[in-house]
Amino acid sequence: MDDRASGSGKGQRGSSPHEIERYERLFAARTHGMRSSAMRDMMSLTERPDVISLAGGLPDTSTFPAERYARLMAEVAADSTARALQYGPTEGLASVMECVVEVMAEEQTTVHPDELIVTTGGQQVIDLVCKALVDPGDVIVAEAPTYPGAVPTFGAYQAQVVQIEMDDQGMPIDELESTLDRLLNDGLTPKFIYTIPNFHNPGGVTMSTERRERLVGLARERELLVLEDNPYGLLRYEGSPLPTLYSLDALQAGRGGASDFVIYLGTFSKILSPGVRLGWAVAPRPVLEKLNLGKQGADLCSSPVTQLFVSAYFSEEDWRGYLDQLRCLYRSRRDVMLGALAEHFGPQARWTHPHGGMFIWATLPDYIDTTDLLARALETEGVAFVPGRAAYMDGRGGSSMRLNFAGVKEEDIREGIRRIGKVVREHVGLFGTLTGTAPAESGAQKRAKERRPESAPEAGESGGGELGDGKAGDGKPGSGLADVVELPRRRGEQNSAQRRG
Ligand SMILES: Cc1ncc(COP(=O)(O)O)c(C=O)c1O
């Protein structure tokens, strides 16, 4: 990821080059691969009242009734004082595991408490999985774009990330297969395949059932681990739910419901609150044990205070009812954003039509750099989004942007998109003036124009939306090899990667 992708929201806490120099020789090699997450950099923007931020990955926590929160917390304080204030078991409280089992059942996936651990958010699962599996130079296969929050984690573990460009049905499995073959030829086997099958963050697309089955088949055939990151599965606004990779693999494994090759990441962040910082991992036993050891070293246990809050919430409240409320609210916000995009972004742009989740991924003409656009949008219009580069390891994604609709009020969505549209039109006009021409439409742009999202919502089974990559909408998997993105490696790592291969 290019540093510029962090945008002008970068905090005021940055060190000067002089200060860094002083400590340089003390830093571990892994810190060179550490990059700030664009999302985190931009969190500060959400606090600024003068800025409309479509950049956050935020659910709308203002929908949670204050009196309910107060009552549950008071109950935890009064009835479980000592437990709440004490350390808990690393794998989590049994009562929270029961909540996880309930949520997973809602995802049509059977799990047992002894197959999971409770973590400090889903983010910790990504970290623990890397900690358990990835040595410097090891390969991770991910989608392109990928979750911007995973980018700094992969960087910190010095992984080589191979990103496979998605189309409107998620990761094309033909491309995955040929990429795996190519890696194998180079003596490399990925440590895991990282995927967000439902309502992708940031891509907004959903992996089709056929691809899910093929992915699990491939993982089983080649004995590869898959990390299924599913924070948004229950936030579906249209179409029917699709099976989790975990459940498909467990079906094939046929041994009491447990999966052999899928590590499942879940979280309470989007169905209840990110503030509780609670997620979970379901994994094959030997992997789970390593995750548990990694967690012991990271934080001993997740907060018992919030675990007890979640347990009380699930046992006393109608969590499915709250989820219905969220789905209703977010669906309507999604529709407002889709309408505003159609009104203000013009034929030059393409965007996804997510069937759920929190994000739309918009792609502008190639000559627009969304990192530059963000600086301008912030400065002149007071509006923010996540520039697309944040979702790539290698600086691609420069003409795309991630837009959050879930955590933003309808009037702000309309106004925010209007303002971004204004800056986009100025850029397009400037390009025309500089080149003396009206900007030419590429074939992809023409196709995108014919496939404007308001006329092309598709059925649930066929995937979550169209993706603006020139391949979108044709429903065919991409051809040829995926772009292989290699992080720069230091000499020692090169050798160790080759040795392992
Ligand atoms: C795809 C994905 N994975 C993981 C996470 C981490 O979520 P949390 O740590 O809040 O559970 C997020 C949060 O936005 C996400 O979008």
Report the atom number in ligand 1 closest to the C-alpha of 120. Answer: 9
Mutate to test the pocket of ligand 1, among 269, 310, 359 (most ligand atoms within 8 A of CB): 269
Which positions ≥6 away from 183 have C-beta within 8 Å?
A: 139, 162, 189, 190, 484
Q: What is the mean pLDDT of residues 379-406?
A: 92
Mutate to test the pocket of ligand 1, among 124, 234, 267 (most ligand atoms within 8 A of CB): 267
**What are the pLDDT digits (tens) for 324-343?**
999 999 999 999 999 999 99
Q: Which of 185-199, 220-234, 387-401 has the lowest mean pLDDT?
A: 387-401
Kindly report the protein residue whose alpha carbon is nearest to atom 16 of ligand 1.
Answer: 201
- The residue ranking higher by pLDDT, 497 or 33, is 33
With cut-offs at 50, 70 and 90, classify the pLDDT of residue 436.
low
Residue 459 has pLDDT above 70, yes or no: no
State whether the beta carbon of 121 lies less than 6 angstroms from ligand 1.
yes
Q: What is the mean pLDDT of residues 171-178?
A: 98
Is 279 close to ligand 1, i.e. is its CB under 6 Å away? yes
Ligand 1 near 120 CB (within 6 A): no
pLDDT at 197: 98
> What mean pLDDT do residues 130-159 have?
95
| Cis status of the peptide bond prior to 387, with omega within 30 of 0 | no
Structure tokens at 37: 């997450």
pLDDT band at 428 (very low <50, low <70, confident <90, very high): confident
**Ligand 1 atom having least distance to the Cα of 267:** 11
122 Cα nearest atom in ligand 1? 11
Q: Report the nearest atom of ligand 1 relative to the CA of 147.
A: 1
Determine the residue of 124, 129, 147, 154 to mutate for testing ligand 1's pocket, defined as the one with the most ligand atoms within 8 A of the Cβ atom: 147
Cα angle: 320, vertex 409, 382; to 5 degrees: 145
Name the band, by pLDDT with cuts 50, 70 and 90, for residue 17.
confident
Q: What is the chain's mean pLDDT, rounded? A: 84
Task: Count other Cβ atoms within 10 Å, centred on residue 394.
Answer: 17
Closest CA to 166 of 209, 206, 126: 206
Look up residue 304 and give its amino acid.
P
226 has pLDDT over 90: yes
In DSSP notation, 387-426 reads EGGGG-SSS--TTEEEEE-TTS-HHHHHHHHHHHHHHHHH
- Percentage of the chain beyond pLDDT 90 is 70
Strand 262-267 with 359-363, pairing: unpaired
What pLDDT is stored for residue 427 in this prediction?
A: 83
Residue 395, phi-psi category: left (phi > 0), alpha (psi -120 to 50), beta (remainder): left
pLDDT at 354: 97
Which has more confidence, 17 or 114? Answer: 114
Which whole number is the average pLDDT over 22-31? 88
pLDDT per residue over 69-102, tens digit each?
999 999 999 999 999 999 999 999 999 999 999 9
pTM of the model: 0.84
Atom of ligand 1 lying closest to residue 124 CA: 9
Nearest to 281 by CA among 269, 292, 272: 292
Determine which residue's CA is closest to atom 13 belonging to ligand 1.
57
Mean pLDDT on 437-457: 43
Residue 481 has pLDDT above 80, yes or no: no
Q: What percent of the chain has pLDDT over 70?
A: 80
Confirm if 431 and 186 have CB atoms less than 8 A apart: no
